[in-house]
Structure 1
């Protein structure tokens, strides 16, 4: 913990909330610190959280609500009070023993104190703090925090609501936790829970908390689900259904969105956000929702539009595709599949799989497919290449059957 020491003429020992009045950010926020003051010096220790400067009571050294029923007020106050209590308890030990000490001695003791940090308590506080973390690489989205809370819930069940020291979590301990999870969920669920826990152990380590790094060796061999894509004949059947206005009826807007996704690879979250204003230069430009809160500033993704795809969005009655919730949309797709005579289960993600697989079958380079689909690594994209190779093999076998039976 970097700190600045300076002279002080105060005779009492104080631990309090503090911020630098000279360093108010453009958005009005300030970084919060714990300030310790003794007779000889004072020191400020960063809390790695922010709060509006005009919502801090300087007399009481306390946080004020930013809005009625501010959801972050009590959690952030809890973080401040926990840190104040930690340093004050260490100072009190020195005072009770009547042992001379410097504030640097308190910091050293605090680092030792942190070695006893408990995993459930740490995760609970960190899930809240990371949503407002000033550093982008530490920040998580609200939706991600909900997933992490589920992981915390399973961890508490495993520990029978008894907390456990972070320093004692080893690779073997992680393996045992994974085995426990396997009794209650599939390998995909185990993979998510272990990944979440490992991320918080890494976060603890970055915050100078003692961590046994053997936890990293716990790896879940999880195979991604099969790519479920539509064949060309099935796509043609859906295109024909779209033109049959009487047969498709009220489900036409949902089929339009699905076919548009088959031709662009858009995720359901981006289909729901799609807006006419995105169209430019023979395509459309947007920032995928999945990237909008990432460790680096996301760059817009440009998607070229073929005439057939442009047909679905050029004459929309509104600026968007008018999609309902994920659940309602998938329910509508089930009806559409039935009308089209498709036996495969249609979901919003089948359209994206169809887009990737179609490009691979047509021989589009894997790097181009990855860029169009917004993949971070080529391993994800290779799934479509593998499916395309299987489709080509199937076509060749059909050709062989034709000649053999001719």
Structure 2
């Protein structure tokens, strides 16, 4: 007898989530196969082995989990037809090959991970993986490579190649981190062994980006808050989005784009940050309430607060495409606002987040409280202590900006 089930394995990650695995049991022996997913206990249905409705993308995620399970059932059935006796090692070998016919070749596995990310609606991650894979292929002159060929020497040569093409520390760091994440996924799925791990000797931490975080001081932010758009109606949305982001602890554009009216109650906004999956509950300050009231009257007949997504029911690919188009316009409009306000800085969507932190610092708020306000996940002693703080401390800090 055998059982195949998707389960939440009790091996907690630093962000409080658990890996979602395919558990295969035969003759009282068990093997786990990692999927691309992580989940909190609140988002998981233990009895049915799937995400519940508290997961923001549970329908598509469950479809992909079912695909994993169906693939495993087919492999198990095929082995039953072919062999009178087989064990979990036989199943594991066949299942890995079925997932990746070229086994330890890098690019087929990479393409499979990208496909899974797209199916799960993780378009931002998929784009980053695609861009890094394209870069590695160019570096390798489009030759096939195995994971065993990714060594410390390979990584240093790739870094030198990127620098020869104008790469900066920040850009190189992003690509190397993406490659490291792929390497770790290959280990998790038993494609390769965790021996001679190249990133144990090649330290990405040495790549310290030199870019300066762009931020406004409180006087400059005030100019934008007081900017009269009556003569510039095409800039109304851009101003509102910037002010809204500033007073909601630097909510980024992606999270604003998909913010729903159901996430807003009489006194708070509650949402899960797309980038980190951290949950935020933010007290609605008067400037934010004013903006919400405006869009109650002027928004489209959709479930979304802001008129960025034009209709409900868009696919992840459609949402990602819409984001790229509207974000480009938003950033152009912000630069026009900066010029009209006499602000001699390049304004973009992320400046609101940096400005929030900078202005809190101006007001004398402690650095650790600022970090917590922004939802930083660094595992430091200060952050561990701050986990004990209530959200009222953070809301009081934000209220200082009024």
Q: TM-score w.r.t. structure 1 length?
A: 0.62
Of 23, 26, 33, the residue aligned with 1:4 is 26
Residues of 2 paired with 1:263 and 1:271: CA distance? 12
Of 117, 136, 142, the residue aligned with 1:155 is 136
Residues of 2 paired with 1:365 and 1:193: CA distance? 33
Match of 1:80 in 2: 98
Structure 2 CA distance for partners of 1:262 and 1:130, relative to 1, 3 Å: closer
Segments of 5+ residues of structure 1 without an aligned counterpart are 7-22, 50-77, 87-113, 133-138, 293-297, 383-406
Match of 1:19 in 2: none
Look up the SS of the partner of 1:162 in the other structure.
Answer: coil
Of 223, 231, 240, the residue aligned with 1:256 is 240
Determine whether 1:200 maps to 2:182: yes
Of 237, 261, 264, the residue aligned with 2:223 is 237
Of 105, 121, 139, the residue aligned with 1:118 is 105
Higher RCO structure (Cα 8 Å, ≥6 apart): 2
Look up the SS of the partner of 2:71 in the other structure.
Answer: strand
Residues of 2 paired with 1:315 and 1:191: CA distance? 41
Match of 2:393 in 1: none
Larger Rg: 1
Match of 1:347 in 2: 348
Match of 1:32 in 2: 71
- Coordinate RMSD, CA, aligned: 3.4
Determine whether 1:128 maps to 2:100: no
CA contact (8 A) 1:131 1:142 kept: yes
Determine whether 1:368 maps to 2:369: yes
Q: TM-score w.r.t. structure 2 length?
A: 0.63
Q: CA deviation at 1:301?
A: 0.9
Residues of 1 paired with 2:94 and 2:362: CA distance? 49
Match of 1:227 in 2: 213
CA deviation string 1:50-89 (max 9, x = no partner): xxxxxxxxxxxxxxxxxxxxxxxxxxxx973855xx8xxx
Match of 1:309 in 2: 288
CA contact (8 A) 1:279 1:285 kept: yes
Q: CA deviation at 1:376?
A: 1.5
Q: CA deviation at 1:118?
A: 2.2
CA contact (8 A) 1:32 1:46 kept: no
Structure 2 CA distance for partners of 1:201 and 1:366, relative to 1, 3 Å: same
Look up the SS of the partner of 1:374 in the other structure.
Answer: coil
CA deviation string 1:97-143 (max 9, x = no partner): xxxxxxxxxxxxxxxxx6xx2222332333334666xxxxxx88232
Q: CA deviation at 1:48?
A: 11
Look up the SS of the partner of 1:161 in the other structure.
Answer: coil
Q: CA deviation at 1:304?
A: 1.8
Segments of 5+ residues of structure 2 without an aligned counterpart are 1-22, 29-46, 51-61, 300-304, 309-324, 384-402
Structure 2 CA distance for partners of 1:5 and 1:227, relative to 1, 3 Å: same
CA contact (8 A) 1:119 1:165 kept: yes
Question: How many positions carry a matched residue from both structures?
Answer: 292
Match of 2:18 in 1: none
Residues of 2 paired with 1:182 and 1:239: CA distance? 41
Look up the SS of the partner of 1:284 in the other structure.
Answer: strand
CA contact (8 A) 2:263 2:271 kept: yes
Of 307, 318, 331, the residue aligned with 1:322 is 307
Q: CA deviation at 1:193?
A: 1.2
Structure 2 CA distance for partners of 1:48 and 1:24, relative to 1, 3 Å: farther
